[in-house]
Amino acid sequence: MHVWDALSSESKIDFSAGENGRKNTSAIAYMTENPNLTRALLARLESLEPISSFENAKVTSIDLGPPQDSPGTLNLSSYPHVTTSSSTSPLVARLLIGADGINSPVRTFAHIPTRGWDYDRHGVVATVRLASRGGSHSQIEEAPKVQDNVTAYQRFLPSGPIALLALPGDYASLVWSTTPEQAARLKGLDPADFAAMVNAAFRLSVVDVDYMSKMPSGQVDELAWRLQATDVPREDETKYPRIIESVQEGSVASFPLRMRQADQYVGERVALVGDAAHTIHPLAGQGLNMGLADVASLVRAIEYSVSHGGDIGVQGNLEAYESEMWMKNNRMLGVVDKLHKLYGVSWWPVVGLRSLGLGTVDKFNGLKGWMMSQAGG
Amino acid sequence: MSTLLAPAACQLPAAIRISTIGSNKAFTVLHRPPPKYKAHVPLTNIERGALAVGSAVISLVHPRRGDLIATLGETTSTPYFIYRLRDAMLSSPTGRRILRDRPRVTSLTMSLARLRTFPPNSVGRAYASWLDRERVSPDTRDNVRYIDDEECAYVMQRYRECHDFYHTLTGLPVVVEGEVALKAFEFANTLLPMTGLSLFAVVRLKKQERSRFWSTYLPWAISNGLRSPEIINVYWEEELETSVEELRMRLGIERPPDLRGVRETEKEARKAAKERRERLRGITVA
């Protein structure tokens, strides 16, 4: 993984698997596309019996149950009742897990407030196809092809980081955090100009990137001129991602970037996981990892209740999950938020200090190993 | 010195030697990298510093040495300043067009015969008559040699070749006094250190001229230089038929007080003051 700062040409950090402390691993982290994850989850659900799943259904309301009719009958007044569009009678839950995203209806139902702020930034995502390095020379083809598309690249531009994460084959996943106006302009570009713009964002100076991102069209031509006019040392070609050849049709999308942390992760018969509990800036790619860690922790808490004959929905039994994850997630949210703010500054003394800091960290393999173990989950 | 350095340099591992030659950051005089453009002379930091100091001192003693002023301009433009100016050009649509087209101002590209036929108040005509009056030609400008980045070298070249247009635009004459005022304007506008260093030439002005510089021309230069957009981004080749007045309006530049007129007025004022003083002395004596 190669990370560098657009405002300071010398400032970079490299992470590679096998550095001190992580000798037995072959990769820092793996990228997977959402459809793969969804498929695996569905396959797992099918193997578990009996599980009811409701397809093509929408939750229409979540309420507490009606008050007890008369003494001696079942009292479900403190149980969440979920009404869906496909069933007539509500589902009564002993434990309702909200994994329903940043605007979580479950969280609203449980009256759990969230704190945080919106970054004035949007994340532009796309799947792109990479060209082979240095054209199709025979000597290049002899080089081990497997090694060619395994490095992740991230460059910190003043408006936000742009990252390219390797996917199988010649594909890569793009995440570009930028201002809402620029995100709108990027989405409006034609595919060739969009690809040129991404190439420019990794290779050209901040001034060029700013200028080109404001052009309504013609980025292809502009990039060709700037690449030839800019002094890019040839031997450093591996410091940049491969040239992006094309953008997968319909894959360009954007979403607003926010930071949120729910005051509580659990309530009476309610638990929140993933984005419903916390939302993070994507610059460190931690959103999914944090959600997965939530689930693992919640499963442990539930297992404990079950094996000890407890009620899995009682808040007291769920608190093990919250006490394990809340502070941990809060720390990660804080670190990523500060990184975003640190790299949002263009004032030269700050740029100098952060370059010094990054350069120092780059020299300590042990520290980098620890950081990788934190980031890789 | 070189005999002392030679053995040490030979002992460097090959990889290190190659890497130092590859970058333009550090090399010894024994391993000078090849030029990056036609007139380029790659310099070590020590050489660049020595040239800067030397050219600064001698050009202060001999202000007519344009070559030394050019050298001073190039050797003091890095780090930072020439890159800043290049980025200013890259931020403007016209500036980008100039960098892309790379127009050069020479007697071939600027046909003086044609410019002389333009309307009297046009930029082209004013430029031609200015060249005629000063008996200079666009070809008297040296090539940039000491700036390592090829594009930045062009930016310096462009600044140099457009300097005569700045005279046309501001109407400042080429006497040392006007030249210093124009350099102050350029400094406020381009931030190039040489233009700032040239202000030391103010010590060579007469007392009267110096006070005029401090009270009138320096304030004019600073306020106008800072207020107007980067004049490096003016595509002069496309403005030849524009009237000087209109261009000045567009750039938000006020015409400075006419230097000759000011000189006349000051002279009269001085005379009047002298008479008054003498009258006063006569009264006190009486």
B136 and B9 housed in the same domain: no
Question: Does B167 appear as a known binding residue?
Answer: yes
Q: For residue A232, which residues of chain B lie inside 8 Å, CB to CB?
A: none
How many other CB atoms are there within 10 angstroms of residue A67's CB atom?
A: 8
pLDDT of residue B25: 56
Counted domains in chain B: 2
Residue A144's pLDDT is 43
> Best mutation site among B20, B23, B90 for testing chain A: the one with the most A CBs within 10 Å?
B90
Contact B20, B27 (CB under 8 A): yes
Residue B147 CB-density burial (10 A; 0-12 exposed, 13-18 middle, 19+ buried):
buried
Number of A–B residue contacts, CB under 8 Å: 22
Q: Are B112 and B241 contained in the same domain?
A: yes
Q: What is residue A236's predicted lDDT score, i.e. its pLDDT?
A: 65
Interface of chain B toward chain A, CB-CB under 8 angstroms: 22-23, 36, 87, 90-91, 96, 99-100, 149-151
Q: Does residue B127 share a domain with residue B25?
A: no
Q: Which residues of B touch A231 (CB under 8 A)?
A: 36, 149-151
Looking at the fold, whether B6 and B117 belong to one and the same domain comes out as no
Provide the phi-psi class of A134: left if phi over 0, else alpha when psi is between -120 and 50, else beta: left
B90–A233 CB contact, under 8 Å: no
Counting Cα atoms < 13 Å in the Cβ hemisphere of B213 gives 23
| Helix axes B244-251 and B150-170, enclosed angle (nearest 10) | 120
Q: Give percent of chain B above pLDDT 70.
A: 90
Q: How many CB atoms lie within 10 A of CB B129?
A: 16
Residue B71 covered by a domain: no
What ipTM did this prediction achieve?
0.71
pLDDT of residue A324: 95
Interface residue of A10, A207, A217, A234 to substitute, partner B, most B CBs within 10 Å: A207
Q: Specify whether B20 is located in the same domain as B123.
A: no
**Tens-place pLDDT, residues B14-50:** 333 333 333 445 677 777 888 888 888 888 888 888 9
Rg for chain A, CA atoms, rounded: 24
- Determine the pLDDT at residue A197: 93
CA distances from A104 to A63, A73, A110 (A): 14, 32, 10
The separation between the first and the last C-alpha atoms of chain A, rounded to the nearest angstrom, is 16
Put simply, whether A10 touches B (Cβ < 8 Å) is no
The residue in chain B having the minimum alpha-carbon distance to the alpha carbon of residue A210 is: B91
Place of tokens 């071939």: B108
Domain contains B60: no
- What are the residues whose beta carbons fall under 8 Å from the beta carbon of A364, sequence distance 6 or more? none
Instruction: Scan residues 209-228 of A and list those with Cβ closer than 8 Å to B.
Output: 210-211, 225
Residues in chain B with CB shorter than 8 Å from the CB of A225 are 100
Residue B214 token pair: 């401090």
Tracing tokens 């350029």 back to the chain, one arrives at B186
For the ranges A214-218, A296-300, B107-111, B229-233, the maximum mean pLDDT occurs at: A296-300
Would B265 be classed as within a structural domain? no
> Are B99 and B185 found together in one domain?
yes
Is residue B119 domain-shared with residue B222, that is, in the same domain?
Answer: yes
**Is B153 contained in some domain?**
yes
Print pLDDT tens along chain A (377 aa).
Answer: 888 887 776 678 887 776 544 445 567 778 888 888 899 999 998 898 788 888 888 999 999 988 877 887 888 888 999 998 887 788 999 999 999 999 999 999 999 999 999 999 999 999 999 887 755 444 444 444 445 667 888 998 988 899 998 888 888 999 999 999 999 999 999 999 999 999 999 988 889 999 998 888 888 888 888 888 876 655 566 778 888 889 988 889 999 999 999 999 999 999 999 999 999 998 888 889 999 999 999 999 999 999 999 999 999 999 999 999 999 999 999 999 988 888 888 787 888 888 888 888 888 877 877 777 777 65
- Structure tokens belonging to residue B206: 């007469």
Checking if the pLDDT of B66 tops 90, the result is no
Q: Is residue B278 part of a domain?
A: no
> What pLDDT score was predicted for residue B7?
39
Q: Are B138 and B107 in contact (CB under 8 A)?
A: yes
B25 lies in the same domain as B105: no
* Burial of A200: CB neighbours in 10 Å, binned 0-12, 13-18, 19+: buried
Domains and their CATH numbers in chain A: 57-93 (no CATH), 117-255 (3.30.9.10)
B125 plus B26 within the same structural domain: no
Separation between Cα atoms, residue B280 and residue A135, nearest integer Å? 90
Name residue, tokens 């453009």. Answer: B37
- Report, as an integer, the average pLDDT of B164-177: 82
- With CB atoms and an 8 Å threshold, state whether A205 touches B87: yes
Q: Please, which residues bridge with residue A157 across strands?
A: A160
Flag whether residue A207 sits within 8 Å of chain B, measured between CB atoms.
yes
Residues B135 and B7 in one domain: no
Q: Which domain holds residue B129?
A: 78-255
Percent above pLDDT 90 for chain B? 9
Smallest Cβ–Cβ distance between A231 and the set B90, B100, B149 belongs to B149
Residue B237 counted as domain residue? yes
Evaluate whether residue B57 is within a structural domain.
no
Q: How far apart are CA A357 and CA B172, in angstroms?
A: 50
pLDDT digits (tens, 9 = 90+) for B125-152: 888 888 887 777 777 788 888 888 888 8
For chain A, count helices (H), then strands (E).
11, 15
Q: By the 8 A CB rule, do B59 and B65 touch?
A: yes
Q: Output the CA torsion A290→A293→A298→A301 (10° steps).
A: -140
- Domain match, B108 and B26 both: no
Q: Is residue B144 part of a domain?
A: yes
Q: Which residues in chain A are contacts of B96 at CB distance < 8 A?
A: 211
Shared domain check, B185 and B248 = yes
**Contacts A208 to B, Cβ<8 Å:** 90
What mean pLDDT do residues B220-241 have? 89
